[in-house]
Every structure is written in C-alpha cells, then in structure tokens.
A and B are shown apart, each in its own frame.
Chain A
Amino acid sequence: MPVQEKIITIICVVLGTMATRFLPFIVFPPNKKTPEFLQYLSVVLPSAIIGFLVVYCFKNVSFISGSHGFPEIISLLFITILHLWKKSTLLSIAGGTILYMTLVQLIF
C-alpha cells in the first residue's frame, strides 16, 4: 500500500472512531431536551457497561482449552477477597495483576 493510501485508511479509522464518540452529543445537543428514556439510560447504563467491559476482557479466554481460564478466575477471586477486605482500589488492581502474571509465567 502506498503512503497516500495508508494515510487515507488511517483518516477513515479516525473519522469512524470520532463518529461513534461524537454522535450522541450531536443528536442530543444540550439545548434540546434529552428524551425521557435516554435520561433513564444515562442513569442505569454506566453500571451495565462496566459489566459489559468485564465480560469483554474475557472474550479471548478459552475455558475448554489451554489453561481453561484458571489464571483469570483465580485472580478475580483473589481480587474479590482482597477488595472486600482492604477496600483499596489500587492495591486490589496491583495485587490481581501481580498474581496473574505469576500464574501465567510460572505455573500455567
């Protein structure tokens, strides 16, 4: 692919990304009243999306082959206990990551 075509492809990806980010703000500008259902969505969606993102992170984990998702599941269980005990966001994230790296590098 020549440089011009590469640049055009990249610009298309930039425009596509910006379209998905800006569209809701263009369709529902601040001076227009947001529809009632969307106001409701803006309250309930964040929690649902965080749930979505947790599952999203597991999209390439295979539970039937390889390490069967054990390192992931063990790490999440560990984080759950650590977080309920210490309630420190940074500690839980660091602890979970270090445990996971240890598991995939040394055990599984």
Chain B
Amino acid sequence: MNNKKAAFKAAFPYTLPICAGFLFLGASYGLLMTSKGFCPAYPILMSMFIFAGSMEFVTVNLLLSSFNPLYAFFLTLVVNARHLFYGISMLDKFKGTGVKKLYLIFGMCDESFSINSTVKIPEGIDNGDFMLFVTLLNQIYWVGGATLGAVFGNFITFSTEGMDFVLTCLFYVIFLNQWLENKDHSPAVIGIVSTAVCLLLFGADLFIIPSMVLIIAVFYVIRKRGENGICLFRKK
C-alpha cells in the first residue's frame, strides 16, 4: 500500500499542469455540448469512453449531421492516427505491467503519453503504478471538467480566454527538458521540421498523417544509412 502511495506522490506533481488544462478544456467541451442541446449525460459519458479530446469536439459535429457510422469510424482513425506512434513507443515500457496495461493503453491521451514516455521514474517506484496514476488522474481531470462544464458551465464569470494555452506550454516545456537531457537532438529536429513542412503543405486539416509518414520515412532512411547506435550523427 505504501508503494502505491509513493507512486501517487511521485506522479501527482507531473499532472498538475494537465489538471489546469483539462478542467478548462473539459469544461468548454461540456458547455459546448449542453449549448447544442445535449443533456449532460452525453459529454460525461463521451469524455469517459472516447477520452480523446480533439475527437470529442469533432464528434459534436458528427452527432449534429446526418447518420453515417462508417464515416465516423474512419474519420476517428484519421484524427487519432498519432496514437499509433504512441503505442509503438510504449511497447517496451508497458511490458510487465500486468492488467494495468489494458487501462494504460485505453487512457493513453497526448498528455499522458508525453509524461509517461519522457519522465525518468524515480528508483524504488513501480513503473506500472506511476504510469497508472498519471493516466488515471488525467482522465479524472478531463471527465471532471466535462461534468462541471455540462452542469455548471453557465456560472463561469471570469474570462478564461487563452487558458487552453497551458497544454501548449506543457508540450513545449517537455520539449525543452528533452532537449536539455539528450545529447542527440536530431529526433526532436526531425519531429519539428517534418510536421511544420507538412502543416504548410497540407494545411491544418490534413497534415497529421503526412507528418507521421514523413517522420517514419526520415528515420528509416537514416537507419538504412548504416548507423548502429541511436546517435544519428555519431562517427563510426
């Protein structure tokens, strides 16, 4: 039990920025749903079971247009294709986590992934427990936010404009931490440049899958060039 407590204590601080971001974004989502005439049960259940922020906003439009379940399914695959990357990166890290693994995969949103894949978990703390608490806390914030927004949304009186920027800050600071920790900056540069190029070429609605393909292709070419280690610019 004490081990669980220690894992919770280690995980909780990492989730604080996400708490701020998710309560706010979740509340905007809950408020949006009720303002479109849905009863609060919709945003609450959808935030619980879909648990992929951007897709939940897209689903609002799907529910308001004509019935087309196949389109809904394939659109979801496109919007959430980046999760395939997360899975590939976490194949080893999730090994040996037992039944927790199912929930870790179910709840692997951008934010949980960004923490679980980059944080060096302190010694003596069970990796599975740490990642479980990160994932679970994040989902509680999101569902909590959606619930608050759906039920009390109209009572928010102070201006919250710009609050969603907290998640951009989160990813950027994780990026800086990675940059300071890693000697080899090429993966980070490849990620930024490939995505920026695809965003310019394909536009905001279509760039996700081309970016993923380009990133994989660049890594493939570098790997094929015959380097052995992970350091891409190391001399043989």
Q: Please determine whether chains A and B interact with each other in the same assembly.
A: yes
B-contacting residues of A (Cβ < 8 Å)? Answer: 1, 5-6, 8-10, 12-25, 28, 30, 34, 37-60, 71-72, 75-76, 79-80, 83-84, 89-90, 92-94, 96-97, 100-101, 103-105
**Sample of 27 A–B contacts (CB below 8 Å):** A10-B59, A12-B69, A13-B59, A13-B76, A16-B72, A20-B80, A21-B106, A40-B230, A42-B91, A49-B89, A51-B189, A51-B190, A51-B195, A52-B195, A54-B171, A54-B192, A55-B195, A57-B171, A58-B199, A60-B204, A83-B173, A83-B176, A89-B177, A90-B16, A97-B162, A101-B163, A104-B161
A101 contact from B13, B81, B161, B219, Cβ within 8 A: B161
Report the minimum CB–CB distance from A22 to chain B (whole Å): 6
Residue of B nearest to A40 (CB): B223
Chain A residue nearest to B68 (CB atoms) is A9
Contacts A9-B63, A79-B172, A83-B176; A43 near B230 (Cβ below 8 A): yes
Asked if A59 and B169 make an inter-chain contact with CB atoms under 8 angstroms apart, the answer reads no
Residues of B within 8 A of A57 (CB): 167-168, 171-172
Among B46, B85, B167, B204, the residue within 8 A (CB) of A49 is B85
Kindly state whether residue B174 has any CB partner on chain A within 8 Å: yes
Residue contact A44 to B162, C-beta cutoff 8 Å = no
Q: Please, which residues of chain B bring their CB within 8 A of the CB of A72?
A: 165, 168
Nearest CB to that of A24 among chain B residues?
Answer: B87
Kindly state the separation between the CA atoms of A37 and B192 in the bound complex, as whole angstroms: 21
B8 within 8 A of A: no
Interface set, chain B 43-83, CB cutoff 8 A to A: 45-46, 49-52, 55, 59, 62-64, 66-70, 72-77, 80-83
Identify whether the interface residues of B are mostly helix, strand, loop, or mixed.
helix
Verify A47–B187 contact, CB threshold 8 A: yes
Interface residues on B, range: 35 or more
Given A17-B80, A60-B204, verify A49-B86 contact (CB < 8 Å): yes
What's the Cα separation between A14 and B108 when bound, in Å? 13
| Complex CA–CA separation, A89 to B15 (angstroms) | 11
Given contacts A20-B81, A97-B165, 15 further A-B contacts (CB under 8 A): A13-B62, A14-B50, A16-B55, A28-B91, A41-B216, A42-B91, A47-B187, A50-B175, A52-B82, A54-B172, A55-B191, A97-B163, A97-B166, A103-B162, A105-B161
For the complex, give the distance between the alpha carbons of A93 and B190 in Å.
24
Residue of B nearest to A26 (CB): B87
Closest Cβ neighbor of B24 among chain A residues:
A97
Do A75 and B173 touch across chains, with their CB atoms under 8 A apart? Answer: no
Tell me whether B6 is interfacial, beta carbon within 8 Å.
Answer: no
Question: Chain B's nearest CB lies how many Å from the CB of A97?
Answer: 4
